[in-house]
Structure 1
């Protein structure tokens, strides 16, 4: 079977985030309403306009071989950590290498390597630059390392769509299976660029929170006092395969990836556009064969920016309605940029499986213009037969995914 009627199962999950070094600890922290945002203690932060970030809870070098890790950018390290967990979680599917594909999105790729090696070049000259610089800085590095690690030979792809990259990677993975180009796909996103330069850039654009003295309260999606995003780092990966194949090997999926919608605004390089977001959500629902009233939960992109959250709230209300239970986990993890869409997908998948939606942290007073049922205080429990998750990125990239119960 090929095409949109093929059922796609999510059989494995992997993550390393500011809340935990794996999926279980990250999900538990989300349900507990914890914050991964901390004060940056690097010397350079003393003079930075931004002195907070959501850094990893567990350093990847503690779980990777030290020699191998030194030849990887941090973005590549987190991708491998998450992919290995997801692969184990899926039971290491017995698939021919030529039928196994990888799609790992990223926003900046190996930017930390580029910045660090430029410092070396300026200070010590060309002969001191690492010979591993190019493979460490290239944007396709996370996908390449994961494909090498798992022996995937059906293609290693890298969507670079800013904050929509991780969700778009999952949509690509679904397409590869539907088109018959792969039987199993390792898909997700990775990002690691907590550095003085992007922080300064966001500060100059007045897009980053200024709450340096209260990091845990800085990311506050939909709150009337929100003042900007908080940069984060990490990776999240899902394993996708045909539902019939998963059933044949006795694996019970977390959920089904029922549909995806990917659009572009062609509007503005940084400002989100209501129309493009609505089209992405409607396309995902149409692909899934669902009506708006079938959606019980929406995981919002909601980065905690004054304009962005309001535009998305209006888009959700128009495309899906005001009935779904809504949450925004960036209130806890910060914004993982290229990995954000994949992490949002993970949260939606687990909400479908467990019948529980995490509360949005720091939502003390909802913006009166946000006409949505946003979860606050404590998690909301109840059946979640279908969930939609959004990821929107600079450049006008929009990606929406729909997940349904495994038995649906």
Structure 2
């Protein structure tokens, strides 16, 4: 069976450095940090007092107030990003065959704030189980694509992938294969997350996973830097509209890039720590290249997982050096988490969008906040430090990894 070609025709982004794809892109290339003191709750007793929150965002500017009240933030974010991507793709919603349009989404946690609020409200009461009737449908991780499909009447495959921080990259790979195999003409894919809550921050602090650079939040996310001390939590959503190539071409769609392949693997090593030699990361990048029918020397740019953790950054760069050999030194490597923070289940989507827009504009966003070399990192690697770099990108890769050892990798290519 000959696999169908898949292209990207729509993008939508809601991030801590911009509430549209264009604002997001401007934030990326200007090296803007989205980190600031948390405004959602009192942080006095928390070890980490900052995060990458959305700025100037009000869900009811986009969603009917009554409907918004029945959605957790992660679903609200998904709706807004998906709306932008669908509008960007200029789909004719009156003539499209909605039986062949799917929504495949990623979320690592789902409705954490909803769960937190309902349980805390119960704990304050007299033991009588008075729960909001929308508690469960607001909380469950699969509800975001459900709401997108309900709004637009898309009746193709509809589900959420959950693989921690690899979730939306997993979703994109599933979406790619749904079109490749002929099951769909169009898939709306991506991911969303809204974990900047007392439970989210408290839980990650208990694991010693977060930076505690409270005196300088904007410099706290510093991937590859010798003084990094953990990741910075972010929130938001990214959405992509994927289409079968001939279908997109026939309707005259703008094509951003071809989605040429993806890969999955497991570290099979530890619940939360990466394999120190990046063995699972080596496997996932090799799988991705093989799936795309490309060679290591074809890759021009890699947006790394690069969370700013002491172990993870080193392991990933070791894996890149192993897979790409001497060519690794010719690749523009970066970590946009230095600006957005870590959006958990939404990370893969917004970072894929960064790769696609870097390809479109011929410029690689920087890895900001780098001041101190790490002796465990090869100094000959081009980590695109502190300033965006012009680069003609024909092939771009995005890596995303998650607790549990989940690894996902996606590859995009300029359309021939």
TM-score band by shorter chain is over 0.9
2:224 corresponds to? 222
Deviation per CA, 1:121-150: give whole Å up to 9, x if none. Answer: 112354642111110011101111111122
CA contact (8 A) 2:112 2:200 kept: no
Alpha-carbon offset, residue 369 of structure 1? 2.1
Q: 1:294 aligns with which of 288, 292, 298?
A: 298
Alpha-carbon offset, residue 194 of structure 1? 0.6
1:28 corresponds to? 26
Instruction: Report how many aligned residue pairs link the two structures.
Output: 405
List 4+ stretches of structure 1 deviating above 4 A. Answer: none
Measured at CA, do residues 35 and 192 of structure 1 come closer, stay the same or move farther in structure 2, by a change above 3 Å?
A: same
- Segment of structure 1 superposing worse, 119-128 or 78-87: 119-128
Deviation per CA, 1:334-385: give whole Å up to 9, x if none. Answer: 0000000111100011111111100111011232322221002321102100
1:112 corresponds to? 113
SS of the residue 2:165 aligns to: helix
Q: Which runs of 5+ in 1 are unaligned?
A: none
CA contact (8 A) 2:40 2:197 kept: no
Measured at CA, do residues 248 and 42 of structure 1 come closer, stay the same or move farther in structure 2, by a change above 3 Å?
A: closer
Show the 5 A alignment for 1:152-301. 152-273=154-275, 274-301=278-305
Q: Distance in 1 between matches of 2:334 and 2:96?
A: 36
1:402 corresponds to? 411
Alpha-carbon offset, residue 243 of structure 1? 1.3
Q: If the length of structure 2 is used for normalisation, what is the TM-score?
A: 0.95
Alpha-carbon offset, residue 3 of structure 1? 4.3
1:71 corresponds to? 70
Q: Distance in 2 between matches of 1:189 and 1:317?
A: 29
Deviation per CA, 1:42-74: give whole Å up to 9, x if none. Answer: 443111111001011223333221111000000
- Segment of structure 1 superposing worse, 22-31 or 62-71: 62-71
Deviation per CA, 1:273-332: give whole Å up to 9, x if none. Answer: 311111111111111111111100000000000000000011111123232101100000
1:367 corresponds to? 374
CA contact (8 A) 1:264 1:276 kept: yes
* 1:17 has 2:24 as partner: no
1:328 corresponds to? 335
Deviation per CA, 1:219-239: give whole Å up to 9, x if none. Answer: 000011100001110000100
- Segment of structure 1 superposing worse, 165-174 or 318-327: 318-327
CA contact (8 A) 1:298 1:326 kept: yes
SS of the residue 2:8 aligns to: strand
2:360 corresponds to? 353
Q: What is the root-mean-square deviation in Å for CA atoms of aligned residues?
A: 1.3
Q: Distance in 1 between matches of 2:228 and 2:263?
A: 28
- Segment of structure 1 superposing worse, 43-52 or 18-27: 43-52
CA contact (8 A) 1:220 1:226 kept: yes
- Segment of structure 1 superposing worse, 297-306 or 125-134: 125-134
1:379 corresponds to? 388
Alpha-carbon offset, residue 103 of structure 1? 0.6
Q: If the length of structure 1 is used for normalisation, what is the TM-score?
A: 0.97
